[in-house]
Structure 1
Amino acid sequence: MTREPKQDRSRVTRGHLLAVTIDCLAELGWGATTVSLVAQRAGVSRGATQHHFPTREDLITAALEVMFDARMEQARREATDLPTGEGRTEAVVARLVDYYTGTLFKAALQVWTAAAADPELRARIVPLEERFGRVAHRTAVEHFGFDDADPVAHRLVQATLDLARGLGLADVLTDDSKRRAEIVRQWAAQLDAALPSGQPRSGQSVQPPRLDVAVLD
C-alpha cells in the first residue's frame, strides 16, 4: 500500500484544523475557541497544531482567510446553477444572503467583535475585512451581470451586500428565515425595476430603488 506523502498529510491536517476552527467560532464564540480545543476536536495534538499555527491569532485569521477563499471559489462554481432571465435577480440576492447567514459569517462575526476591543487583533483583521469586501463585491457583480463601471449599479451591488450583512446579523439569535425570504423577494423586485436590462450601459441614468420599509417591520 502506497503511503500518503508527508506533505499531503500536512496539507490535509492544516485544512482540517482550519475547518474545525470555523465551526468552533460559530458554535462557541471567540473566548472558547482556543488552540487546545481546536486540536482536541480535530483529533490532532496541540504540538502538531502549533507547528502549523503558533498562536491562536495565527490559527483564527488563517481559518477566516482560507475558508473565505474556499467559499468564494465555490460561489464561482455554483454560478452556473443560477437561472437565466426571469428569476435570476432574486436567485442571486438569495445566494448572497445565504453567504451572510452561514457558518463562516457567524465565525467571522465573533472575531470582528473581539477585534473591536483588541488593537493587535484589529490590525490583523482590518486588511482581511477589506479584501473580503472587495471579493464579495466582485462576486456579486459577476452573479448579477451588472456593469460595475456604472456608478448606480456599483452602489446597488454594495447596498445588496449591506442588506445581506444586516440580515445575517438578524439571524444570529433567532431563525429569521421567513421574514428574510420576503425581504429578498422585495429587494430583487426593486433591483429589476431599477436595472431592467440587467446590464446597464456605462453612464446610463437609473434611479436607485427604494425598499418598502414596511417589509422590514
Structure 2
Amino acid sequence: MTADRLEPPRTRARQQRSRDTELLLIEAALRALVEYGYAGASTLRIQRLAGVSRGRLLHHFPSRDALLIAAVRHLVHRRLEESPTSIDPALGPEERIDAAVTAMWLSYHSEMFWASAELWLASRQVPELRRSLLPSEQQMGAALAESCGRLFGPDLAARPGYADLRELLNTSMRGVAFTYAFTERDPSTDPHLPGWRRLARGVLL
C-alpha cells in the first residue's frame, strides 16, 4: 500500500489543492517574467495573474525571488522533458552532428531562455538573487549538459574535444540568441548555424 493510500481523503485533497496553487503561481510568475521582465514581475502582478491572495502566495513562496527561481527551475525541467533527447540512431555521424547542433541552437529560442536571462541580468544588481540563483544554475547546467550528450550520442560524446566543443557551442549560441531580443528572424536560417555545424564536424570527426 502506498503512502498516498494511507492518507485520509480529506488530507489528499488538501495536498492536491496546495500543489495546484503552487503550479498556478509558478505559471503566473513565468508569464510575468517573460512578458514584463524582472522589474515588472512584482508579487502583486503575479497574484493578479494567478488569481490568488497575497497570503496564499506567501504561504508557498516567502519571497518574490524564491518564486521566480522556482518558476525558472520548473520551466527548465519541463523543457528537458519535452525536448528531443535522442537523434535517429540510423543517421551517420555527420548527419547526427548537424541534427544535434540544430537542436541545441533551437533550444535558445524558448520561454525558458528568456525567463532565465531576465534573472541573470537582474542578479548583477541583486546580490541576494545571485546567491539564490547560483545553485539552481549549476544544477540546470549539469542537466543540460547531460541532454546534449544524449543528442550527440555516446560515441560522439566520448570523442576527444567533445566537452570543450559543447561549452563553446553553448556559449556562442547564448550570445547570438540575445540578439533576437531586438530582431525578428527565423532562427533555423541563422547564418551562424552552418559555421557551428562545420566546427562540430571538424572537432568530432
TM-score, length basis structure 1: 0.78
Query: Where in structure 2 are the equivalents of 1:194-213 lying within 5 Å?
Result: 194-196=203-205
- Residue 140 of structure 1 corresponds to 148
Percent identity between matched residues is 27
Aligned length: 192
Q: Residue 69 of structure 2 contacts residue 133 of structure 2 at CA under 8 Å; is this kept in 1?
A: yes
CA-to-partner distance for each residue in 1:60-92, whole Å, 9 max, x for gaps? 1111122212212223xx325x33415332222
- Residue 201 of structure 1 corresponds to none
Structure 1 CA distance for aligned equivalents of residues 130 and 159 of structure 2: 33
- Residue 114 of structure 1 corresponds to 122
**CA shift for structure 1 position 183:** 1.9
| Matched residue type, 1:123 | R
Structure 2 CA distance for aligned equivalents of residues 141 and 46 of structure 1: 42
| Matched residue type, 1:190 | L
- Provide the secondary structure at the position in 2 that maps to 1:50: helix
Query: Where in structure 2 are the equivalents of 1:1-217 lying within 5 Å?
Result: 5-75=13-83, 78-80=84-86, 82-84=87-89, 85-86=91-92, 87-146=95-154, 148=157, 150-177=159-186, 181-196=190-205
Which structure features the higher share of helix residues?
2
Q: Residue 18 of structure 1 contacts residue 67 of structure 1 at CA under 8 Å; is this kept in 2?
A: no
**Structure 1 gap segments, 5+ residues each:** 197-217
CA-to-partner distance for each residue in 1:84-113, whole Å, 9 max, x for gaps? 415332222222222222111111111111
**CA shift for structure 1 position 37:** 0.7
**CA shift for structure 1 position 47:** 1.8
Structure 1 stretches of at least 4 aligned residues deviating more than 6 Å after TM superposition:
none
Moved more, 5-14 or 146-155: 146-155
| Matched residue type, 1:164 | M
Moved more, 140-149 or 47-56: 140-149
**CA shift for structure 1 position 179:** 7.8
- Provide the secondary structure at the position in 2 that maps to 1:31: helix
- Residue 5 of structure 2 corresponds to none
| Matched residue type, 1:42 | A
Instruction: Mark the CA change 1:98 to 1:17 in structure 2 (over 3 Å): closer, same or farther.
Output: farther
Q: Residue 85 of structure 2 contacts residue 147 of structure 2 at CA under 8 Å; is this kept in 1?
A: no
Q: Residue 101 of structure 1 contacts residue 167 of structure 1 at CA under 8 Å; is this kept in 2?
A: no
- Provide the secondary structure at the position in 2 that maps to 1:79: coil
TM-score, length basis structure 2: 0.82
**Structure 2 gap segments, 5+ residues each:** 1-8
**CA shift for structure 1 position 18:** 1.0
Structure 1 CA distance for aligned equivalents of residues 56 and 106 of structure 2: 34
**CA shift for structure 1 position 185:** 3.0
CA-to-partner distance for each residue in 1:95-146, whole Å, 9 max, x for gaps? 2222222111111111111111111111111222222222211211111115
Root-mean-square deviation (Å): 2.3
Instruction: Mark the CA change 1:98 to 1:178 in structure 2 (over 3 Å): closer, same or farther.
Output: closer
| Matched residue type, 1:168 | A
Q: Residue 65 of structure 1 contacts residue 128 of structure 1 at CA under 8 Å; is this kept in 2?
A: yes
| Matched residue type, 1:187 | W
